[in-house]
Amino acid sequence: MQQPLLEVNHLTTWFDTREGKARVVDGNSFRIHRGETFALLGESGCGKSMTALSIMRLLPGQAQGNISGQVLLDGEDLLQLPEAAMRRVRGNRIAMIFQEPMTSLNPVLTVGEQIAEVLRRHRGLSGAALQRRLEELLAQVGIPAPRQRLGEYPHQLSGGMKQRVMIAIALAGEPDLLIADEPTTALDVTIQAQVLGLLKELQSQTGMAVLMITHDLGVVSEMVDRVAVMYAGQIVEQAGRADFFAQPQHPYSQKLFEALPDMDKRDRLLSVIPGSVPPLTQTFQGCRFAPRCHRAWELCHQREPQWLPAGEGRSVRCHLYDRRVPHPQQTGEAPQPLDLAHATTGEVLLEVRDLKVHFPIRKGLLKRVRGHVYAVDGVDLSLRHGQTLALVGESGCGKTTLGKSILQLLRPTAGEVCFQGEDLTRLRGEALRRRRRDFQIIFQDPFSSMNPRMMVGDIIAEGMQAQGIGGDREQRLARVDELLQQVGLKPEHKFKYPHEFSGGQRQRICIARTLAVNPKLIVCDEPTSALDVSVQAQILNLLRRLQQALRLSYLFITHDISVVSYLADDVAVMYLGRVVEQGPVGAILGEARHPYTRALLAAVPRVHADVPRQMVKLEGDPPSPMDPPAGCHFHPRCPQASAICRECYPEQRQVASGHWVRCHLYS
Which range of residues in 49-57, 404-412, 482-490, 601-609 is near other proteins by CB under 8 A?
Answer: 404-412
Using CB under 8 A as the binding rule, whether residue 120 contacts other proteins is answered as no
**Binder to other proteins among 445, 529, 623, 629 (CB under 8 A)?**
445
264 Cβ neighbours under 8 A, 6+ residues apart: none
| 253 and 310 Cβ atoms separated by less than 8 Å | no
Using CB under 8 A as the binding rule, whether residue 80 contacts other proteins is answered as no
Using CB under 8 A as the binding rule, whether residue 499 contacts other proteins is answered as yes
3-state helix, strand, coil in the chain (%, to 5): 35, 25, 40
Which range of residues in 170-178, 448-456, 541-549, 614-622 is near other proteins by CB under 8 A?
Answer: 448-456
Using CB under 8 A as the binding rule, whether residue 281 contacts other proteins is answered as no
Distance CA 41, CA 33 (A): 18
What is the DSSP annotation of 126-137?
Answer: -HHHHHHHHHHH
- Smallest Cα–Cα separation from 277: which of 215, 210, 218? 215
Q: How near is the Cβ of 60 to other proteins at its closest, in Å? A: 10
Sign of CA dihedral 256, 189, 571, 611: negative
Q: How near is the Cβ of 267 to other proteins at its closest, in Å? A: 32
Distance CA 296, CA 330 (A): 10
**Binder to other proteins among 434, 490, 608, 646 (CB under 8 A)?**
434
Using CB under 8 A as the binding rule, whether residue 412 contacts other proteins is answered as no
Using CB under 8 A as the binding rule, whether residue 373 contacts other proteins is answered as no
- Smallest Cα–Cα separation from 637: which of 623, 649, 655, 658? 623
Which range of residues in 132-140, 432-440, 537-545, 608-616 is near other proteins by CB under 8 A?
Answer: 432-440
Using CB under 8 A as the binding rule, whether residue 520 contacts other proteins is answered as no
Using CB under 8 A as the binding rule, whether residue 529 contacts other proteins is answered as no
Q: 3-state class of 630 per DSSP?
A: coil
Distance CA 399, CA 415 (A): 16
Using CB under 8 A as the binding rule, whether residue 367 contacts other proteins is answered as no
Q: How near is the Cβ of 496 to other proteins at its closest, in Å? A: 9
Which range of residues in 121-129, 401-409, 599-607, 640-648 is near other proteins by CB under 8 A?
Answer: 401-409
- Smallest Cα–Cα separation from 514: which of 451, 438, 409? 438
Nearer to other proteins, 140 or 276 (CB): 276
Distance CA 18, CA 312 (A): 43
Amino acid at site 512: A
Distance CA 456, CA 502 (A): 13
Q: How near is the Cβ of 499 to other proteins at its closest, in Å? A: 8
Q: How near is the Cβ of 483 to other proteins at its closest, in Å? A: 14
Nearer to other proteins, 136 or 492 (CB): 492
Using CB under 8 A as the binding rule, whether residue 411 contacts other proteins is answered as no
- Smallest Cα–Cα separation from 238: which of 294, 178, 321? 321
Using CB under 8 A as the binding rule, whether residue 426 contacts other proteins is answered as no
Nearer to other proteins, 225 or 462 (CB): 462
Nearer to other proteins, 308 or 410 (CB): 410
Using CB under 8 A as the binding rule, whether residue 478 contacts other proteins is answered as no
Q: How near is the Cβ of 62 to other proteins at its closest, in Å? A: 10
Using CB under 8 A as the binding rule, whether residue 273 contacts other proteins is answered as no
- Smallest Cα–Cα separation from 29: which of 232, 182, 234, 240? 234
String of b and e for 607-645 (b: at least 16 CB within 10 Å)?
Answer: beeeeeeeebebeebbbebeebbebbbbbbbbeebeeeb
Using CB under 8 A as the binding rule, whether residue 462 contacts other proteins is answered as yes
Residues that bind other proteins (CB under 8 A): 404, 407, 409, 432-437, 439-441, 443, 445, 448-454, 462-463, 466-467, 497, 499, 510, 513, 517
